[in-house]
Structure 1
Amino acid sequence: MADVIAWLLVVVIAAYACAGGTDYGAGFWDLLAGGAERGRRPRWLIDHAMAPVWEVNNVWLIFILIIMWTGFPVVFQAVFEALWLPLVLAAVGQVLRGAGFALRKPTRRLAQRRVYGAVFAISSLLTPFFLGAVLGGVASGRVAVGTEASADAWANPTSLMAGLLAVASTAFLGAVFLSSDARRFGAEDLVGYFRVRASIAFAALVVLALVALPVTRDDAHYVWNGLTSGVGLLCSILSGVCGLAALLFLARRLFGWSRYAAVATVALAVLAWGLAQRPYLLPTTLTVSDAAGAAHSLRWLGIVTLVAVVLVGPALVLVYRLDTKGRLEPLTDSDTSAAELPGDNL
């Protein structure tokens, strides 16, 4: 049962990396959109694309915390003791990001909207970086039961590369989804705009992955062995193939397929990490079986998770499907022609 719950945790992390990562990626491109006039159109699209589902994606983060806390309490304690600082910074980024996004749209004064927009965009960059740094600290073997908090636990070469890879992955996801949203909202000029950015993000992702190989070989050798052999290597290769397929689908304007391929790119990368790390939850000191909670707790966790999947899963699928169909936020003619936002002339 412990192995089932562990793989369930990997699946949920992959779901959050894809769903939440898309939102973070939109914030990344919001940050790089330019000044008020130059960035008006991309930011208009980002606001419309994110508004219906940006809070829904955090459901996956709640699942991660519950599964870790209930299924593997020793791991939960060790990670939060050793890596509390980047986790707190990521949590603060989540709060500031949500506040910035929620307050920017109704604000009528341009100066205030710029402040809220900057908070949203910068937090969208820092939050995935710190979350990636946490995963890097775990993968490098610097986190064990009883490890005290220190800068080395998360400010190390593997954590740095994992943080940068997380940011590049979100940028890639965000650009692919926004290119599709641009077509759906009738903003044809933004289709090419975000298609170019998707290509740039994927190129950055490939470069960072290549740089990460020698870094992890020296700094996280156990995980490096798993990523460069067996099923872990296969998943890594398939992840790259799916990334290339996503760009090809975008070029051929097959937007639905491009989304699926982009999601598969990130999901397979997370799966490769999970396969590379097995059988450890904390390489190379704590295995899945040693970290598992009581047997009855695992059984009840499995039952509750199954109930949650039955009750919440269809609702999430419906929300995402309605969003991709553009049915959650009715658009007017002025919306699809990118009319000036309130306060642009203030």
Structure 2
Amino acid sequence: MTADLIAVVLLLAVAAYACGGGTDYGAGFWDLTAGGTERGRRPRWLIDHAMAPVWEVNNVWLIFVLVIMWTGFPVLFQTVFSAMWLPLALAAMGLVLRGAGFAFRKPTQRLAGRRLYGALFAVASVVTPFFLGAAVGGVASGRAARGTEASADAWANPTSVMFGLVAIATTALLGAVFLTGDARRFDAPDLVGYFRLRALSALAVLTVLAVITGFVTHEDSPHVWRGLTHGLGLLFVVLAGVAALATAWLLLRTPSAWLRVAAVAVVACAVIAWGMAQRPYLIPTSLTVADAAGAPATLTWLAIVTLVALVVVMPAVALLYWLDTHGELEELTEAELRSGSGADGEGAPPGG
């Protein structure tokens, strides 16, 4: 019972990272495709301002996923990281390069340096979700079975390739949807239309890829296919489809908070559908939840620690997002710093 509970927590953590981290990766995707220096200046300006306050916090969910895997399901952790160490290492490298590129490109004074760091940020934002998706595909197809040695087949198979492409399209959708709302918040009507069009395009591409992935899964991962077409798996597939239709409808209207909710629901329901489709396996059809679980005492303490962490972390994360969406985390301009309007509220620098 405890093992099943921790497995649900793991699935929800993966969904949270897919939504939170996916939004950041999507912003990087649109940074990569924004065009040259002059053409891409405005979109990149919005991406920088929208991401700056919150981009690091989304990696909390990735750490949470790794801790639960390592502690709660050590056999799963060992199996996945042994069979697919290469794509996971490339994804980790992408995370590091992406963070470095985003952190250093803005303060760098030389144009060549800004271009270099910007390229690192943008390219890594596409490469990282692809390899993470490919690793998930290796799990879903059952190729990362217990005792499997590392090989290209574990992650360079049809299911993995499609999962990787779906991951990129998913991040592109989330990034464009959130940037559409941010463009409205920053009073940039030209960018509202710019990112709305890209969100609709990403949704169309994602829909096509999802259909193709269904056909690939039918042949390459029959257990997951059956789970997606029956029971809870089918329910969440339908919910993801409904959320996708709602997202398309809301994109054609004035952007609102409901647009973000609908887009997040698409991704969250899709991830949960995959998890429900694999039941009772963590790796179909070789490793069940019960077989992969750690010691009962460890699982009990992990459940307690998880509850405490959620009570402490969730309100802080919610507050951070609230402050960001209400414009409370904007950087002070040079004029504000000189006037002291952001320092002591009196219009003069402290001690002046």
TM-score by length of 2: 0.93
- Aligned twin of 2:99: 98
- Aligned twin of 1:238: 239
- Aligned twin of 2:343: none
Task: Give CA deviations for 1:242-287 in whole Å, capped at 9, x if unaligned.
Answer: 1221232232214200000110000000000000001000100111
- Aligned twin of 1:305: 306
Shift of 1:229: 2.0
What is the identity, as a one-letter code, of the residue corresponding to 2:44?
A: R
Q: Does 1:198 align with 2:199?
A: yes
Task: Give CA deviations for 1:278-305 in whole Å, capped at 9, x if unaligned.
Answer: 1000100111011110000000000000
Gaps of 5+ in 2: 336-352
Task: Give CA deviations for 1:297-340 in whole Å, capped at 9, x if unaligned.
Answer: 00000000011011111001100111111211246599xxxxxx
Q: Distance in 2 between matches of 1:99 and 1:155?
A: 28
Q: Distance in 2 between matches of 1:250 and 1:38?
A: 24
What is the identity, as a one-letter code, of the residue corresponding to 1:293?
A: G
Secondary structure (helix, strand or coil) at the match of 2:282 reads: strand
Which is worse superposed, 210-219 or 158-167?
210-219
Shift of 1:126: 0.4
- Aligned twin of 2:164: 163
Task: Give CA deviations for 1:127-167 in whole Å, capped at 9, x if unaligned.
Answer: 00000000000000101111100000000000000000000
- Aligned twin of 1:255: 256
Secondary structure (helix, strand or coil) at the match of 2:108 reads: coil
Q: Does 1:212 align with 2:213?
A: yes
Which is worse superposed, 110-119 or 293-302?
110-119
Q: CA RMSD in A?
A: 1.4
Q: Which has the higher contact order (CA 8 A, sep 6+)?
A: 1
Gaps of 5+ in 1: 335-346
- Aligned twin of 1:34: 35
TM-score by length of 1: 0.95
Say whether the 8 Å CA contact 2:136–2:163 is kept in structure 1.
Answer: yes
Shift of 1:110: 1.5
What is the identity, as a one-letter code, of the residue corresponding to 1:85?
A: L
Say whether the 8 Å CA contact 2:184–2:255 is kept in structure 1.
Answer: no
Q: Distance in 2 between matches of 1:96 and 1:329?
A: 25
- Aligned twin of 2:344: none
Q: Does 1:317 align with 2:318?
A: yes
What is the identity, as a one-letter code, of the residue corresponding to 2:218?
A: R
What is the identity, as a one-letter code, of the residue corresponding to 1:314?
A: P
Secondary structure (helix, strand or coil) at the match of 1:281 reads: strand
Q: Does 1:59 align with 2:64?
A: no
- Aligned twin of 2:230: 229
Q: Distance in 2 between matches of 1:132 and 1:54?
A: 20
- Aligned twin of 2:80: 79
- Aligned twin of 1:118: 119
- Aligned twin of 1:14: 15
- Aligned twin of 2:24: 23
Say whether the 8 Å CA contact 2:180–2:255 is kept in structure 1.
Answer: no
Task: Give CA deviations for 1:85-125 in whole Å, capped at 9, x if unaligned.
Answer: 00000000000000000010111221211111111000000
Which is worse superposed, 239-248 or 218-227?
239-248
What is the identity, as a one-letter code, of the residue corresponding to 1:130?
A: F
Q: Distance in 2 between matches of 1:172 and 1:331?
A: 30
Kindly name which structure, 1 or 2, has the bigger radius of gyration based on alpha carbons: 2
What is the identity, as a one-letter code, of the residue corresponding to 1:101?
A: F
What is the identity, as a one-letter code, of the residue corresponding to 2:115?
A: R
